Each structure stands twice: as C-alpha cells, then as structure tokens.
Amino acid sequence: MKNIKTNWICFFLLSLLSYQSVSAQIPTLFTVNTNESKAKVSSSMWGVFFEDINMGADGGIYAEMIKNRSFEFYEPLMGWKTEGKSIKEGDFLILNRKESNTNNPRYLRVELRDAQEGNVGITNEGFRGMGIKDNMRYDFSILYKQQTGNLKMHLELLNSKGEVIGAAEIKPQLTDGNWHKQAVSFKSTATELKGKLRIWFEGNGQIDLDMISLFPEDTWMKRPGGMRADMIQLLADMKPGFIRFPGGCIVEGFDLATRYQWKKTVGPVEERQLIINRWNSEFNHRQTPDYFQTFGLGFFEYFQLAEDIGAEALPILNCGMACQFNSAEVVSLDDLDEYVQDALDLIEFANGDVTTKWGKVRSDMGHPKPFNLKKLGVGNENWGPQYVERLKVFNKVLKAKYPEIALIFSSGAAPSGEKFDLLNKELRAMNADIIDEHYYRSPEWFLENASRYDSYERKGPKIFAGEYAAQSDKTGSPNNKNNWKTALAEASFLTGLERNADVVIMASYAPLFAHVEGWQWTPDMIWVDNLQAYGTPNYQVQKLYATNKGTDVVSVVSENQIVAGKDGYYASATIDKATNEVIIKITNYSATAREVAFKVDGVKKLATKGFNTYLSSDDLNNMNSIENPQNVSPNRKELTSKINTVKTILSPYSFNVIKFKMS
C-alpha cells in the first residue's frame, strides 16, 4: 500500500515537472505555405525494393514448403532424409538426364520391394521447418514416372515431436513410362512452427519422382503455387508506388554465370533452371549452404504482384557486369548484344501485344493485357568506365526503340567518393533519365544529410533513392539492428527527399524481407518466421510516408529557414489536392517533449479538428519482434486548430504526420 502511494506521488511530481518543462517553453513556430506548389510528388514516390536475400523468395514470399523439390541443389538430397529399415544400396538413386532436360536434369528413383510402413521413406525439413496452420488445406503435387509397379505414397505432416498432424495418400495412376503430374489436398490438425513432410512408400516397383511440392491454401489471392499472404499483405498495406525487383546484387551475380536472367524465370515452373543464390556463401558470419533460387517466383509473378497491389513494376537488369565486390567479371563489348537483347525482349514481354514473341509468352502465362512497364534499370551498384561504356550501348539501342521507357542507371554502391563522382558526371553528360543512389550509412549520416538534395542540380536526371537503410553498427555487420534510432534517422532524412520531390522521384528501403533463422544481411524492413511476419520501426516509417504522400510539396519553414536539423527538428509538408488536406511531417529528434505551433497560410479555413499519427519511443534502442510486433507502432491523437494555427506537443524522439482538411 505504502509503495502504491509513493508511486503515485512520484508520478504526480514527474508529470508536473514535464508539464512545466513543456509549458515553460515558447512554442517553436513553423509556417506552412499551402499557396504555392513547390513540386509534384510523383505517384510512385515511396516504393519497395525486393531481392531474394535473407530467404526473401524461396523460404519467404514464395509459399512452397518443400526445400530442394527437384533435387537440383549441389547436394541432391539436401533438405531430404531417406529412411527405413529395409533400404539397400541403390534403392534411392539420383538420376541425371542433362542431355534431354538441361533445365531440370535430376530426379529421384525409388526401388520398392514389398515396402510397408517404416520400411522406405523420405522426409523433407522445409525451410528451417515448415509453418503449418491448424485446419488449413495443404496442396501436394508431384511429377512421377513408372514403368511397372503397384505402389502408394503416404503423406504425413509432422510436428516437431514427429507426431502426425495431417495425412493423405496418393496412388500414382499411370505406368506408361512417361512423366505425369498428380496432386492431392488434405488438412492439418494442428499448428506447428517447425513441421516436416514425410512420404513413406507401400508396395512394389520402381518410381521416379520430381518436383515434389507442397503449398498452403491461404496464398496471396488464393493463387495455386502462389505467395505467402501475410508477407504480401504487409506490402499491400504500405500502398507502395513501385516494386523494384529482382535486386540488388542478385541482378549481377557472383559471376556472369550466376547473374539473374529473367528469361529463365518465365514459363512452366518445372522448366525454370535453378541456380545457386549468390547470398549462399557471401558472408562468413552467415553461411547459408542451402540457399538456391528455384525461380518458382519469376518475372511474370513479380509483374503480377506489382499489378495486384497497385504498384509500378520496376525491373533492374544485368548490364554485362558481375558483382564488383565478387568476381567483377565483365562481358566483352563484342558479346554485349545478348544482354541488350534481354532488355529489349523484357520490354516486349511486359508491354508487347500478344502477337509478338514475348507478348505471347506473357499471354500464355495468363496475362494477355500488357503490364504497362514505364521504367527499367540497367545495372545495380556497378561502377567505373566499364559500366559507362556498356550503358552507352544500352542507352542508344533502348532509346531508339522504346523512347517512352525511362532508364535508370546506378551511381554505384556509395553516395559519395571518387566512384560516385565519376558516375554522377558521366551519367549527367549522357543525359540519363534517372540515377539510382544507394546509402547504407550510420544514423548520424542520415541526420546530417537531410538537406542533401536542397542544393542538387534541378535540371537533368531525376534521382531514385533505390536502396537505403541506417546501419546501427556498420554495413554488412551482423550486429545491425532495426531499432527506433535508425528508423527515426531515416524518417528525418526522408523529409529531405519529400521536400525535394522535383529531384527525387522514387525511394525504397533495402533489403525488404528477412527470415529470423535464414538471414544473411541486416537490417531489413520486415522480419518473418514460418508462421508470422512483422514490420520493423523502419517499416512503420516507410508506411507512414507512403500512405500520407500528398500530391504537391509546399514549404514549411521556421525562422524563414527550411527545417533540416536545427534543434533536432526535420520537417516537410505536402498538400493533397484530391482530398484537400495539408500533411505536415516532422521529427522531434530530441529527448524532450516540445511544444510547437504550425501556422498554415494560404487556406481560407483550416478544419478545427485534425490528427497527428505518430511514432515515438523514449528508448532509441526499442525494436519490434515476433513476440512484440507492435512495440513501436503508430499512435493517433486528435488536434485542434485556431485561426489556422495548430498547437501541439511533440513527444520525445518522435516522427509525426499531422493532417488537417483545408478549405
């Protein structure tokens, strides 16, 4: 009792103190001038960057639950365990038919002699286990070939104790020696984070197996063989203006042989040739030997996803150079044609009518209507004169045939320095449409560079802030955290992008996804395990920007100066001509609550009631997690205005989005 009383007295005194410290201040005045549109905010301003890193595609948004479904990993049985009392040498064989099927050469042959339960089986471990949901339907399918035999396959979903939590059987129908597909669906009886699939065989004969596949029913838009709905929903909730894909360094490859080749990712899934994922062995601290790209998700699916969630599709293609942090292999200029042709064909794939070669491929995959591609990137984090030489060829050919497609060229891996300066000069001399800048820097860098674009050249190429993330430790370090400090620094920096929307036309945080047990790179915007996904504080910042975009930039000043760091304030403002709203974004990067006033000029009448949607945390180390996904998440409070002025108190370390209707 005594304790409770003491606590109350402390609370009262603390409240009084903090009230006095706020009320003693003269509110800082910010003036917003809604009369003059300083720039249009591009409709695709805030987007997302997707790369198959951290198990982003396989084991991530691609909802396939079987790892190494077609036995093409270096170790053909990686992810699988063969088991049973009566197995003899050669009963399980990996066969290779490279000559007749280059794209999908391997398959598994199983020999059965009066097999019964427990005699002969294979178990797949999934991607760090399989996320199984109670009462969910699971769709199993398989390609098989048999000459003779009378056999059955028993399918069992197992929980982490090895107990059966869902079962079905499948009896291959045809014994004509040709490949056939057969499928069966069944329900699970429990939820499990780390499930497995066991297949045990019954009967006699020989059977060849390939493309052993298991998908949950609840994929995004319920598409068979589709994407994980909870992960995609987090993207859709952001209403991103664009999706950049497929990367990232994935575009470049460790060497040219492992570059991303979009043509190998379209058409029937079983004909898409798997390659090693370049993040498989990139970091000694996070080796991921079981990381491959099956391309079950390919360019068609990425275009379709963009369309689904109302985002522009933004593909980036290889420019004839492999990753310069790795092999740095370049294709000789004499052999560049194939790469340029890939770019030309991609535009045809996306936009060509169904009578064209690649338009027909799109149409045959179920999308006769064009995807309306508007922008295309050539090269990711490439640099040096070799890049410029190759870009010139792409630029000439692509502009001649498709002048309406805006081309995006990279300014390298860093936002300053010799490499950046060279490219910045050369790309401007080429009159590039859009330059892709990347910044993986400290939170302090983000704060100090909030006015980077205020002094940028207004004419010439536009800027795509194509990859950025504040690093709490250092780039590439496994100790980087998605904490509130990094997110607030990014929020502060982004006011500078928004203020300069005449120069910066697109921005995306990177990387996008990471599996809590399968990541190589941190920080990342969205983290997942096999059953759940959550947005980091950095995600919440991006989402607030993307969902409170506005149509026109207007000025917000304090003492006639832009608000870019003085006293820990960073601000930008837009108006939305469609909804007649003024939207003020402001961070209070300080440990104290502070009283501020916004005088909104240029309106007849500001609505008397508006809202502040804000993110705040006294502790800059605060993070979200699977256990506490909403730890740092938006709050909303009502604000009032008098004589077109809004007074409020900004919480310590807060990012605020203040919205009022105007008339």
> Do the Cβ atoms of 553 and 501 come closer than 8 Å?
yes
Instruction: Check residue 105 for interaction with ligand AHR (CB under 6 A).
Output: no
CB contact set of 469 (below 8 Å; sequence gap of 6+): 440, 486, 490, 509, 510, 511, 523, 524, 525, 538
Question: 629 preceded by cis ω (within 30°)?
Answer: no
- Whole-angstrom distance, CA of residue 377 vs CA of residue 244: 9
- Whole-angstrom distance, CA of residue 188 vs CA of residue 559: 64
> What's the closest the beta carbon of residue 466 comes to ligand AHR, in angstroms?
8
Q: Which residues of 335-354 are buried (b: 16+ CB within 10 A; e: fewer)?
A: ebeebbebbebbbbbbbbee
**Which of 14-22, 181-189, 245-253, 280-288 is the region at the interface with ligand AHR (rule: CB under 6 A)?**
245-253
| 3-state secondary structure at position 370 | coil
> Do the Cβ atoms of 324 and 383 come closer than 8 Å?
yes
Instruction: Check residue 467 for interaction with ligand AHR (CB under 6 A).
Output: yes
Instruction: Check residue 312 for interaction with ligand AHR (CB under 6 A).
Output: no
Instruction: Check residue 47 for interaction with ligand AHR (CB under 6 A).
Output: no
Binding residue (CB under 6 A) for ligand AHR from 253, 443, 511, 518: 511
DSSP code of 240?
Answer: -
> What's the closest the beta carbon of residue 107 comes to ligand AHR, in angstroms?
33
> Do the Cβ atoms of 306 and 313 come closer than 8 Å?
yes
Query: Shortest Cβ contact with ligand AHR: which residue?
Result: 248
Nearer to ligand AHR, 105 or 412 (CB): 412
Nearer to ligand AHR, 249 or 507 (CB): 249
> What's the closest the beta carbon of residue 400 comes to ligand AHR, in angstroms?
29
Instruction: Check residue 433 for interaction with ligand AHR (CB under 6 A).
Output: no
Instruction: Check residue 301 for interaction with ligand AHR (CB under 6 A).
Output: no
Instruction: Check residue 202 for interaction with ligand AHR (CB under 6 A).
Output: no
**Which of 13-21, 225-233, 242-250, 494-502 is the region at the interface with ligand AHR (rule: CB under 6 A)?**
242-250
**Which of 12-20, 177-185, 244-252, 614-622 is the region at the interface with ligand AHR (rule: CB under 6 A)?**
244-252
Instruction: Check residue 246 for interaction with ligand AHR (CB under 6 A).
Output: no
> What's the closest the beta carbon of residue 65 comes to ligand AHR, in angstroms?
26
Instruction: Check residue 240 for interaction with ligand AHR (CB under 6 A).
Output: no
Nearer to ligand AHR, 249 or 427 (CB): 249
Between helices 299-308 and 229-238, what is the axis angle to 10°? 50
> Do the Cβ atoms of 540 and 633 come closer than 8 Å?
yes
- Whole-angstrom distance, CA of residue 130 vs CA of residue 57: 15
Half-sphere exposure of 433 (CA within 13 A, CB side): 19
> What's the closest the beta carbon of residue 566 comes to ligand AHR, in angstroms?
32
Nearer to ligand AHR, 523 or 652 (CB): 523
- Whole-angstrom distance, CA of residue 214 vs CA of residue 389: 46
> What's the closest the beta carbon of residue 380 comes to ligand AHR, in angstroms?
5
Instruction: Check residue 248 for interaction with ligand AHR (CB under 6 A).
Output: yes
> How many angstroms separate the Cα of 272 from the Cα of each of 211, 240, 299, 549?
11, 29, 11, 39
- Whole-angstrom distance, CA of residue 64 vs CA of residue 75: 19
Burial class (CB in 10 A: 0-12, 13-18, 19+), 193: middle
Q: Which two tokens stand for residue 480?
A: 């980087």
> What's the closest the beta carbon of residue 292 comes to ligand AHR, in angstroms?
17
Burial class (CB in 10 A: 0-12, 13-18, 19+), 148: exposed
Instruction: Check residue 413 for interaction with ligand AHR (CB under 6 A).
Output: yes
> What's the closest the beta carbon of residue 250 comes to ligand AHR, in angstroms?
6
564 strand-pairing partners: 570
Nearer to ligand AHR, 70 or 261 (CB): 261
> What's the closest the beta carbon of residue 469 comes to ligand AHR, in angstroms?
8
Torsion sign across C-alpha atoms 395, 398, 403, 406: negative
> What's the closest the beta carbon of residue 507 comes to ligand AHR, in angstroms?
14
**Which of 37-45, 247-255, 264-272, 303-311 is the region at the interface with ligand AHR (rule: CB under 6 A)?**
247-255
Question: Catalytic annotation on 638?
Answer: no
**Which of 97-105, 246-254, 528-536, 604-612 is the region at the interface with ligand AHR (rule: CB under 6 A)?**
246-254
Binding residue (CB under 6 A) for ligand AHR from 66, 249, 346, 546: 249
Number of residues that bind ligand AHR (CB under 6 A): 12
Instruction: Check residue 51 for interaction with ligand AHR (CB under 6 A).
Output: yes
Nearer to ligand AHR, 432 or 514 (CB): 514
> What's the closest the beta carbon of residue 71 comes to ligand AHR, in angstroms?
28
| 3-state secondary structure at position 141 | strand
Nearer to ligand AHR, 296 or 412 (CB): 412
Nearer to ligand AHR, 76 or 248 (CB): 248
Nearer to ligand AHR, 377 or 511 (CB): 511
- Whole-angstrom distance, CA of residue 593 vs CA of residue 21: 8
> What's the closest the beta carbon of residue 315 comes to ligand AHR, in angstroms?
14
Nearer to ligand AHR, 19 or 325 (CB): 325
Contacts by residues 168-173 (CB-CB < 8 Å, ≥ 24 positions apart): 168/140, 170/140, 170/142, 172/144, 172/146, 172/207
Binding residue (CB under 6 A) for ligand AHR from 120, 306, 497, 510: 510
Nearer to ligand AHR, 249 or 657 (CB): 249
Q: Which two tokens stand for residue 647?
A: 């007074």
Torsion sign across C-alpha atoms 582, 587, 593, 597: negative
Pairing of strands 581-588, 654-661: antiparallel
Nearer to ligand AHR, 51 or 437 (CB): 51
> Do the Cβ atoms of 441 and 471 come closer than 8 Å?
yes
Mask: binding to ligand AHR, 362-391, rule CB under 6 A, as x and -? ------------------xx----------
Instruction: Check residue 247 for interaction with ligand AHR (CB under 6 A).
Output: yes
> Do the Cβ atoms of 220 and 229 come closer than 8 Å?
yes
Instruction: Check residue 526 for interaction with ligand AHR (CB under 6 A).
Output: no
Among candidate residues 64, 252, 381, 581, the one labeled active-site is 381
Instruction: Check residue 521 for interaction with ligand AHR (CB under 6 A).
Output: yes
Q: Which two tokens stand for residue 370?
A: 């064009």
Catalytic residues: 381
Point out which residues bind ligand AHR (CB under 6 A): 51, 53, 247-249, 380-381, 413, 467, 510-511, 521
